[in-house]
Every structure is written in C-alpha cells, then in structure tokens.
Structure 1
Amino acid sequence: MGKRSVATLIAAVVAGSLLTGAPGPRAEAAEAGAGGASPPGSPAGPGVDLDTVTIPELQARMADGALTPTALTRAYLRRIKAVDPKINAVLRTDPKALRQAAASDARHRNGTVRGPLDGIPVLLKDNVNTRDLPTTAGSLALKGTPPDSDAELVTRLRHAGAVILGKANLSEWANFRAAKPTSGWSAVGGQTKNPYVLDRNPCGSSAGSGAALAASLAQVAIGTETDGSIVCPAGMNGVVGHKPSLGLVSQDGVVPISAEQDTAGPMARNVVDTALTLSVLSGDTALGGGSALADGASHPGKLRGKRIGLWRLPSLGDEVDAVMTRTAKKLRSAGAKVVEVTPPYQDRLAELEFPALLSEFHRDINAYLATRHGPQNLAELVEFTRTHPGEQTCFAGQELFEQALEAPPTTDPEYRANRAELKDLSRRSIDETMAKHHLDAIASPTNPPAWTTDCARGDNDVIPSSTPAAVAGYPSLSVPAGSVGELPIGLLLMAGDRQDGELLSLGAGVEHRLDAWRAPRYLPTTGTNASH
C-alpha cells in the first residue's frame, strides 16, 4: 500500500492509544518490577515512568512544559549507567546526546517541533552507519574510523529531531559468520544477556536493541532483519518489533547480508511508538502534525470481525502451543475470527534460502567494505578474522564467510532461478493462505522460550515463523503474547506487501487485548526446563 494509506492507519493507531492508554497491566507490572532485582523505570519528570510511557504521552508533557527532552535524555543515560552492567546491551552512548536534546528543548519552547520523535532518545543497532560514532557490525575489523556519512535512516531520524542516544550491541556480522554462532555476542561488545533471565539468550542479531528496550534503556531502538533478527529479539525480550515491507526503509548505509531481504525497522515497548518510528524511518514525517492524529477515527482495540489465521508451529513445544491456545481464546473473545492454517511451501523455502543468501552476502558485503577503512572485501575479512584472537573468544568459526566466498555469483543462472523461485513461493505461501481463508493477517509464535547462552553449543534457534515474510519482503510484527515461566513469548503477525499500516493497526488491537507485557526481573537463572 502507498504512504498515504500507511499514514492514515498509523494515525489511527496513535489516536486509539490516546483514547485507551497503554495496555492494561503496564503500570501494575512496572510496580511489581520494583520488588525484583532491578528498579522500575527511573522517573524522568513528573508522572513519567520509563517502563510504561509512550511517545504521545511524552510529547504531551513536553508540550505543556512538564518535561524537557534534556530531562528525558538524562534519565535514559542514568538508566543505562545503572542497569546496562546487568545485561551489556549498549556498546556506547553518544557524547553529543545532551547537545541534541538541548536543541530539541529550544524547538519545544519555540513551537517549532519537527514531529513525534523530536526529543525522543533512540538507540541504533551497531550495523547502522553514523558519521560521528563507530559502526562496527560487532567486528574488530571495523572498530577504527567511523563511516564517512550517516545511513539514510539516521539522516531521517536527525531531521525528525530524534536524540541519537548511542549504539546497541548485536550479533557480530548479524549472525552471518559462523555455522553455530551465539546470538548477542560480538568481539567488540561481548555477550548481551536476556533481561528476564540473565543466563538466557536475547535472540537474533538485533539482540542488543531488544534487550535494551526490555530494560528501558531507550524509548525506541532500531533493529535490522534478514530473517528473524528484528522479530525474534522482540519476542524473546518481551517487546514489539516491526519488520517493514522490503524497500519501505532505505538500506543505504546499513551493513548488509542480502539486498533481497535486508531491512531496518523500529522496535519499542508498545505498538504506537513502533508505528511513529516507522513513519520517520519511511520518510512519512507528515504524521507529526496534529491533523494526522485528529484523523485517527478508528479504534485499534476493535478486533471484531477481523479474520486471523493461526499457524501453530507445534515444533516449538507444548508450552508455546499453550500460549497460542490462550491467545486465540482472547482474540475470539474480542470478536475476531481465528482459523488454523498451515502456509504451504515451507520445506522448499528452507531448502533454497541459505544458498541464495551466501551468493548475495558475497556481493553485498564486498560493496559495503569498499566504503570503509579496514578489510576491503570478504577474502580480506576472512583473513582478518583468522588472525585476530579477539574475534575468537566465544566461537572461532567463520564457516559462512568461507562458504560465501565459494558460492556462485549472483549472475549465475542457477542462483537467479533459485531466487526467483524463493520470491514466488514465499509470496504465494502468504497470499494463497490469506486469500483461501479471507484473512486480515496470519499469526504464529515468534519464538520459543529463550535458550541458555552457550558459546560452545551456539544457538538453539530453528524458528520457521519469520521466514515467509522475510523472504517475500512482506511486513511482520511481533507483539508480546505471554510467557513460559519467566520467559516471554511473542505473537508474530504477517500480511501482504505494503500492508504495514493495516498490520500495525491490527497489532495495536491485539496488544491491547492480550495485555501481555510485564517488566523483567533480571533473574540470574530459572528453573524452567522449557528450553535447553
């Protein structure tokens, strides 16, 4: 769908949030968290709790003078200093953050606010180029000179008045180095931990972004995804993550795996903040005006008449399936029609995707490295990794690098045929399922319970739910659905190409009905045997 429709539907999400407030148990959950191993969200001003506050609420307080961007930024910087040592999610804060906030203070005083993100602190995954901060993809190979220019999405955030708070840790090279990597580990940043249970994994390459949001270390964060690396860390850290339709957010200046699947996207603790951030990342800054909010006549909590296809994925275990059963019951009680579905072609997608990504990575990482100081191509990167012990402190392997070096070029006819088949089957898997059952969205579990982090074993992460939308270039959205013991489980919603606005509107209603968010307790371990 076009930008105008996205704008209208995101405005509806925002208007609905102002009518209903955040999902029901948020304030209670934050208070309950105060008795755990970490304090609740630090006060940033009168009546502001970082765990629960939304961007529209922050902007309302800034508009009436009860809060300044500088006070909000200071609160997040204090929160990072106090809490991040528990989880190791933030690589570095921006020394210019308070200067950015002061400029936003002046705009709020002068009535020249640039939109909903003006003065809002944002963390960037450290594979997104910033001209004044290192951008490393977690590798020592890029630790030196920063990029020459900002990524296009960072330019848009700056123009919107957002405060670039700093860089989040990630899985090194977005988990495309070793055959058995450990998510959340990088040579530059070490291991990020899951805030709910500290010996458990945060999942996916946007691990630091997800963990930082769960710990309330920023209002929003930017992640990137090739297949699962926004939505899985969102699900496993109990927050919201949106993988946009391919091309809606510029890939310029983002360390790549594959131009055919890569996208950056917004992550937050609620759908409304996610939607507002998407409006900036996609260049749709018209959403900042009051008229856009006034146009939001539809209530995102209205699920009556919506048709949702539930793809259960029993391979993720009985306890996850029980969360899906409870989820379906709640959605039906809100008037939605939930029907069980099994999207076709999944085995063939799994067979074709990885070989295609190897060819695309070789092409795209060579092009990116040529813009940076350090290794200039994949062959030089392989040699760097082999000869630097700091790259091997968790795992030594770089099998994917080596396989990519030997993969057929993207000009190869067999590669081209495979990518064409991937695109066709992935889109048909969603389109045919939605058409057959007249669906508004397909829903599935985003993730299993978080597995124990283990460098020797690597990840335990065969999670097929993200693949159809990722390969098709269609949007997907993870919202909190419940927990297995202490460990969050997300509900992944997916729909057709450029249906981002509809998906966010539906997701806001699902979020409001499920009321599944709760604050992390930073437990050192857990007795649940739901994962291994």
Structure 2
Amino acid sequence: MSIEIVEATIADIQAAMEQGDITSRELVLLYMERIADHDKNGLTINSVLELNPDALFIADALDAERASRGSRGPLHGIPILLKDNINTGDKMHTSAGSLALADLYAGEDAFIVKQLRKAGAVILGKANMTEFANFMTEGMPSGYSSRGGQVLNAYNISEPTGGSSSGSGVAVSCNFCMAAIGTETSGSIINPANLSSTVGIKPTVGLVSRSGILPLSNSQDTAGPMARTVTDSVLLLDALVQVDDADSAMGSSLGKRQANYAQFLQLGGLGGARIGVPRDYYFEELTPEQLDIFDQALRTMCELGAEIIDPANIPTARQIVYSSVILNEFKASLHAYLSALPSNAPARSLAEIIAFNEAHPEQTLKYGQTLLLLAENNTSGTLTETQYLRDRLTDLRLCQVEGIDAVMSEHRLDALLFPADFGSRITARAGYPSIIVPAGYTSAGVPFGVTFSGKAYSEPRLIQLAYAYEQRSKVRRAPSLKSFI
C-alpha cells in the first residue's frame, strides 16, 4: 500500500485500486485501525456504533470480482457506514440507538442498502445517532443514545455534534469511512453535516426510498448521503435513487428523477445563477464570526458569476411555528415499521419500548423519555386528530406555496442560500431538497457551512451550485485527532 486514505476521495481510491496500490480489504483494515485508534480510545469520539463482522469477507469477494470481471462502478469496494436506523439483513443490529431495540435483527436490507450492495459498496458498520432520531425526550444532547453513548465533535469536544445523524457526520469527517448514509426529518442531515464540516444532501422526499428505515415522520423522512466532498456525496446519491415500488412517495418523482446526477458536477454551475438570501428571521442567531463566513461565501459566488438577490425574504418565515405533525406521525409510522419486523423482534409497539425503558431507568432514561410518552399518550396513531390535519395543511401552505415557492417565483431564483442549518425547518416541512457545503471555521475551530435549497426535485441545479462553490472555496480541513490518542 502506498496511498494515504485521510481525505482521499472515491476517485482517488478507485484509481489506486485499479493500479493495484490498495485493495478493498486493505482499505477496510485501515478504517478499522483508525476507528480503534481514534473512535474507541483517547477521549472516545464514539461515532461508530457497530462494525459489520463480515466486512472483510465482503471486501475480499469484491476484490476477487474486480480482478476477474472488473469494477461495478464508483462504489466498488468502498466502505460505507449506515445510520443505526437503517435496516440490514445481516449480522448487525438496527436499533435507532435504543437499548430497547438493541437485540433487533431486521431480517432484510432496507431498499437503499440493497442498492448500495448492488453498486459494490462494503457496508462497514452502523453509525451512532441521537436516539430515535432526536424524538426520545426534550433536553437530550445531540449525538446521545442509550445504546451507544455520546458522540463528540472532533473539531471541538465542548461543542455539539448536531443531530440526529451525528455519528454519520463525525465518522465521515474523521475518515473512519469513505462516506455514510444519514436520515433527515428536520435538519438531521444538514445540522450534523454543518458541525462536522462535511457535505450532506437532503433529497426531496420521494427521491430516495424510505422502505426499511425506522421512521420518525412519514411525510418528512428521507435518507441521504454524507461525504467529505460534493462529488462523493453525488456518487452515493446516484446509487440510492432507484425506484422502490413499495414506497408510495416515490411516485411523485416520475419524470423528475435523473438517471445520473454526477453529470451536474459542473465547474461553471454558478455562472448566471440567481441566488436568494432570506435574511429576515434566519440570520437572527448568527454570531459576527458566522456572519463573516457567510458573507465571504457570497463574495465567492459573485466572483463565479452568480447574481445575489439579497434580501430575498420568505414571506411566511415568522409564521412557521410549532406543528403537531411529527408528534402524531411518529407512533403511526413506528407501529407500521415494527409490524414488518421478524416475529422475534424485541418490541412490537411504542408502549413496549416505553415499558422497557421504565424497567431499566439507569441505562435508558438518563435524560428521560418525555417525547415518547407524549406520542403514546396524546396521539391515536390513526392520524385523525383535528390539530394534526390542520397543522399538516398549514405546513404545506406556509412552507411550500406561500413560502419557498412564492419567494423563488417572485425573484426567479435558482436556489435559496441559508446559513448553516437554519433553513431546515421550512425545507423539511415542505419536503424540499438541500445541500450543505463547508464554508469555514470560527476562531474556536467550529465548522460552519452554507446550505443551497430549492423546490422539489431541484437536485440537479443544487448540485451545480454546490459543486462550483466547493471547487472554488475548498475550505474543508480534517479534524486533528492527535490529542485523542
């Protein structure tokens, strides 16, 4: 081996494999060594929850296939981590970070996992996450789960990791894998990608299958890629977007899904683009340092030929308040998921999960389970509550029609640009896509990114914009792990 894997891209690794400089087996071993040295020693970053006991065997098989028949494509032999709410039909568990589900074997791969395996990816393991996608309780820190403990921010351990795909973002940033899959309901890809200085793509709801993923909200959930570069994220996205007939949300992507998203990785993607900046409401919590980083990103985009419409305020921004949608959808979605599990699953209902936690409070209830109790005791699980129905309709009106659609149509925008993850609530409720790209670091070393968002199925345009900005700015740097061993 003569290749440095830290910050290596998928293209780097594929070239090295073709030249015989490294094998998939050797790559898996190198990631295992880094996980042992940095994730499970020192201050314990704790981003990797479980390793696939068959990872080396899978890598061996893919190496043999490459030698005899050639490569399947960009992901052949590439080690990928999955968030712990994504089913695998192998020797790994799927628990959403919960001790109540710690002994759960899903029995079958999620649809997107099947696609990754077909593409030749090595499923390296499961990433830690905020328990039940941050719907366990109020006041629990992001990145904590009763099964896996606390994930740390490798750039500054006193700062949060973001949730709920915290382990996925941190593991990618620390070079414990080539890339990872996260899931998002409301900021759960964009938020941890921001704080781990990685690229996260939150697709339009309906572009990527939801089958076989432990859910939070039927109307907002989606899986998406997390990687160190826009290119690697897009290569992963290309493997995920196959049609799943079992997921009714995918019907809306008919005629809008692209066969190849990598074709939109264009250096001139910002030339002539109209980028809107929704200053009202979304900038109120920025520090002066963060504002400087954002404004520098705008200057870079201007240099690349973008026209910045600033401000391009969202008319409904201050009307988007509390919604009962996730609270009501959680129990209904969870019960549907649990009903499809093997008969020996450790829990078959939300009530059984709550009861398990109450029977093991020292291990499971460090921060309580207020949200689980609210969902169990205050919702029917039938989605017939008047407040739920009104909130769902209000969300669609304020976030789609009168919100993002209105401002983008008024100013003829290609995208909105949000600081960090501050636009996640409106884009999540709309079901619209976002891509976050590293933009800089504060004096405390904390990463800060910018998020390109648009209307449904605007991923091609967002990829063009994000790639062009990333290739000019190139601000990402790996966290220093020397003090962690």
Pairing partner for 2:272 from 305, 308, 324: 305
Tell whether 2:262 aligns with 1:322: no
Contact 1:187 1:390 in 2 (8 A): no
| Change beyond 3 A, Cα 1:188–1:200 | same
User: Which residue does 1:180 correspond to in 2?
Assistant: 139
Pairing partner for 2:318 from 328, 342, 347: 347
| Change beyond 3 A, Cα 1:298–1:234 | closer
User: Which residue does 2:394 correspond to in 1?
Assistant: 421
Pairing partner for 1:359 from 328, 333, 351: 328
Helix, strand or coil for the counterpart of 1:347?
Answer: helix
Deviation at 1:443, TM superposition (A): 0.7
Instruction: Give the RMSD, CA atoms, in angstroms.
Output: 2.1
Q: C-alpha distance in 2, partners of 1:202/1:414?
A: 33
Deviation at 1:487, TM superposition (A): 0.4
Q: C-alpha distance in 1, partners of 2:318/2:99?
A: 37
Identity across aligned pairs (percent)?
39
| Change beyond 3 A, Cα 1:298–1:472 | closer
Tell whether 2:235 aligns with 1:265: no
User: Which residue does 2:475 correspond to in 1?
Assistant: 516
For residues 237-272 of structure 1, the C-alpha deviation after alignment (integer angstroms, 9 at most, x for no partner) is 101101111011111111111110001100000000
Contact 2:153 2:196 in 1 (8 A): yes
Helix, strand or coil for the counterpart of 1:211?
Answer: helix
Tell whether 2:432 aligns with 1:474: yes
User: Which residue does 1:146 correspond to in 2?
Assistant: 105
Q: C-alpha distance in 1, partners of 2:56/2:466?
A: 33
Helix, strand or coil for the counterpart of 2:428?
Answer: helix
Contact 1:482 1:488 in 2 (8 A): yes
Deviation at 1:157, TM superposition (A): 0.8
Aligned AA (2:336): A
User: Which residue does 1:331 correspond to in 2?
Assistant: 301
Tell whether 2:45 aligns with 1:87: yes
Contact 2:270 2:469 in 1 (8 A): yes
Q: C-alpha distance in 2, partners of 1:502/1:110?
A: 38
Pairing partner for 2:69 from 95, 107, 111: 111
User: Which residue does 1:377 correspond to in 2?
Assistant: 349
Pairing partner for 2:359 from 383, 387, 402: 387
| Change beyond 3 A, Cα 1:339–1:198 | same
Using the size of structure 1 for normalisation, the TM-score is 0.81
Contact 1:196 1:523 in 2 (8 A): no
Aligned AA (2:189): I
User: Which residue does 2:251 correspond to in 1?
Assistant: none
For residues 406-436 of structure 1, the C-alpha deviation after alignment (integer angstroms, 9 at most, x for no partner) is 1354123442232122123211211111111
Aligned AA (2:439): A
User: Which residue does 1:445 correspond to in 2?
Assistant: 419
Helix, strand or coil for the counterpart of 1:300?
Answer: coil
Deviation larger for 473-482 or 144-153 = 144-153
Contact 2:216 2:334 in 1 (8 A): yes
For residues 178-203 of structure 1, the C-alpha deviation after alignment (integer angstroms, 9 at most, x for no partner) is 12121111111100000101222111
User: Which residue does 1:63 correspond to in 2?
Assistant: 18
1:127-276 map, 5 Å: 127-132=85-90, 133-276=92-235
User: Which residue does 2:459 correspond to in 1?
Assistant: 500
Q: C-alpha distance in 2, partners of 1:506/1:111?
A: 37
| Change beyond 3 A, Cα 1:123–1:49 | same
Aligned AA (1:378): L
Helix, strand or coil for the counterpart of 1:424?
Answer: helix
For residues 267-323 of structure 1, the C-alpha deviation after alignment (integer angstroms, 9 at most, x for no partner) is 000000100100111128xxxxxxx99994973344221111123422222222121
Tell whether 2:410 aligns with 1:436: yes
Aligned pairs, number: 454
Q: C-alpha distance in 1, partners of 2:314/2:272?
A: 22
Aligned AA (2:276): G
1:477-488 map, 5 Å: 477-485=435-443, 486-488=445-447
For residues 434-490 of structure 1, the C-alpha deviation after alignment (integer angstroms, 9 at most, x for no partner) is 11112111111124xxxxxxxxxxxxxxxx411122111111111101111200001
Deviation at 1:364, TM superposition (A): 0.7
Aligned AA (1:377): S
Deviation at 1:393, TM superposition (A): 5.8
Tell whether 2:71 aligns with 1:101: no
Aligned AA (1:407): T
Contact 1:178 1:399 in 2 (8 A): yes
| Change beyond 3 A, Cα 1:297–1:517 | closer
Q: C-alpha distance in 2, partners of 1:415/1:369?
A: 22
Contact 1:197 1:523 in 2 (8 A): no
Aligned AA (1:446): A
Q: C-alpha distance in 2, partners of 1:106/1:481?
A: 40
Deviation at 1:389, TM superposition (A): 2.3
User: Which residue does 2:369 correspond to in 1?
Assistant: 398
Q: C-alpha distance in 1, partners of 2:168/2:77?
A: 19
For residues 8-30 of structure 1, the C-alpha deviation after alignment (integer angstroms, 9 at most, x for no partner) is xxxxxxxxxxxxxxxxxxxxxxx
For residues 353-376 of structure 1, the C-alpha deviation after alignment (integer angstroms, 9 at most, x for no partner) is xx1111100111122223341222
Q: Which has the higher contact order (CA 8 A, sep 6+)?
A: 1
Q: C-alpha distance in 2, partners of 1:294/1:402?
A: 42
Helix, strand or coil for the counterpart of 1:87?
Answer: coil
Aligned AA (2:329): E
Aligned AA (1:432): A
Helix, strand or coil for the counterpart of 1:264?
Answer: strand
